[in-house]
Amino acid sequence: MSDEFSTKGAYTTMGEEFTRDTAYITDRITKDARPVGPGIQTWPVEAGRYRLVVSRACPWANRTTIVRRLLGLEDAISMAVCGPTHDVRSWTFDKDPEGRDPVLGYERLQDAYFARFQDYPKGITVPAIVDIPTKAVVTNDFPWITLDFSTEWTEFHRDGAPDLYPEHLRDEMESVMKLIYTEINNGVYRCGFAGSQDAYDKAYDRLFNALDKISHRLETRRYLMGDTITEADVRLFTTLARFDAVYHGHFKCNRQKLSEMPVLWAYARDVFQTPGFGDTTDFVDIKRHYYEVHEDINPTKIVPKGPNFANWFTPHHREEMGGSPFGDGTAPGPVREPLEPGHSIEELIVAQSA
């Protein structure tokens, strides 16, 4: 595996511009393993068969923890949580007793990849879904993991689960989510890993042009697609949640902090304060990952103490726009798998005020 995985994850470079490597394992888990397209292997939906492997530091993995909780899939799909850092080889299960996942028996996520693909040549990425009986990776194709949670795992959704991928909105959603992914989710990385001043300047302009477009869209609607939360909001939120803590300084995305962009900041607080979002966001792991792993950007590995997280709980007033986060559904119940001690935002606020 390339040493580049140790700092930037799976990516390639085109000249001096950051380009993410999107050659994921395209297998999908579908109802009765129904076919979904040429060249895509499908696996059957089966409660208890699969293990979702995440790191709470990773924005792509954070999507899966949010959607799994919103839909109530905790009993159907178990979850393993890697630590916030990785080395050249892979993510590790250093949060578990003796540094080994109790279900898979692995110390490193790479073992699940190698169990299926000997000498797997790509990045060992999270999120990944692993087949528990064979202990082999099924897929790491993160955009489809959450969409399939919504559309293929419906038998195991909780009562009152929201419709995060409404059929009548899908065409418009795909356009919005493409903008979010290419220009915002990936845009912050394009800034952070730019290989020249010119590449950085172009990336910076692209990112903030897209943020301005999304801000304009949110001036007249509470959520990206209207009155209720959808997959599009999940995809935007995980980048916004990391913006002031990491991307503003570490990735030089510093035209403004999120907290200085009134519409986006109010929207982000609205979503953060919704069950399933803030309670799955681990700012400790987020900061440790970026500042400790990206040694080429931060060679000292010093993790900043700030920012102050208390402002995430300030009133946002977005409820005055109407709508309801879950539409005709209900909020998920109490957190089943809380963040580790000292990592919840409530505890961080107390620690910062001490």
306 and 205 housed in the same domain: yes
Looking up residue 82, the CATH number of its domain turns out to be 3.40.30.10
pLDDT at 141: 97
For residue 15, the model assigns a pLDDT of 52
Residue 107 CA to its chain's centroid (Å): 22
Q: Is the pLDDT of residue 55 over 90?
A: yes
Looking at residue 18, its pLDDT comes to 85
Domain around 249: 168-353
In b/e form, how buried is each residue of 155-187, taking b as 16+ CB within 10 angstroms? ebbbeebbbbbbeebbeebeebbebbbebbbbb
Domain end position, chosen among 156, 187, 212: 156
169-191 pLDDT per residue, tens:
999 999 999 999 999 999 999 99
Q: What are the tens digits of pLDDT across the range 297-323?
A: 999 999 999 999 999 999 999 999 999
Give 339's pLDDT tier (boundaries 50, 70, 90).
very high
| Judgement on whether residues 131 and 257 belong to the same structural domain of the protein | no
Q: Is the pLDDT of residue 29 over 70?
A: yes
When pLDDT is averaged across residues 96-119 and rounded to a whole number, the result is: 97
In the chain, the N- to C-terminal Cα span, in Å, equals 44
Question: What pLDDT score does 14 carry?
Answer: 46
Same-domain status, 88 and 222:
no
Catalytic residue among 50, 58, 267, 291: 58
In a domain, 281, yes or no: yes
Query: Which secondary structure element, helix H or strand E, spans residue 249, and what is its range?
Result: helix 248-250
pLDDT above 50 (res 5): no
Residue with tokens 């059929």: 167
pLDDT at 293 over 60: yes
Q: In the chain, how many domains are there?
A: 2
Same domain, 332 and 211: yes
Mean of pLDDT values over 287-300 = 97
Q: Is residue 126 part of a domain?
A: yes
Indicate which CATH number applies to the domain containing 188: 1.20.1050.10
For residues 141-158, average pLDDT: 98
Last residue of a domain, one of 136, 156, 176: 156
128 and 270 in a common domain: no
21 — pLDDT class (breaks 50, 70, 90): confident
Integer CA distances (angstroms), 94 to 55, 63, 81, 151, 226, in order: 11, 21, 9, 33, 41
Residue 161 lies in a domain: no
Both 179 and 141 in one domain: the answer is no
Over the stretch 185-210, which tens digit does the pLDDT of each residue have? 999 999 999 999 999 999 999 999 99
Separation between Cα atoms, residue 226 and residue 237, nearest integer Å: 15
What share of the chain has pLDDT > 70, as a percent? 96
Average pLDDT over residues 275-290: 98
**163: in domain:** no
121 and 200 co-located in one domain: no
Place of tokens 């990952």: 289
Same domain for 174 and 147? no
253 is catalytic: no
Residue 189: active-site member: yes
Return the pLDDT at 59: 98
What residues contact residue 350 under an 8 Å CB cut-off, 6+ apart?
none
210 and 343 within one domain: yes
User: How many angstroms separate the CA atoms of 111 and 106, rounded?
Assistant: 7
* pLDDT for 19 beyond 90: no
Do 177 and 205 lie in one domain? The reply is yes
Summarize pLDDT for 63-104 with one digit per residue, the tens.
Answer: 999 999 999 999 999 999 999 999 888 999 999 999 999 999
In a domain, 236, yes or no: yes
312 is in an annotated binding site: no
pLDDT higher than 90, residue 347 = yes
Catalytic residue among 106, 189, 204, 247: 189
Say whether both 78 and 151 belong to one domain: yes
Q: Mean pLDDT over all residues of the chain?
A: 95
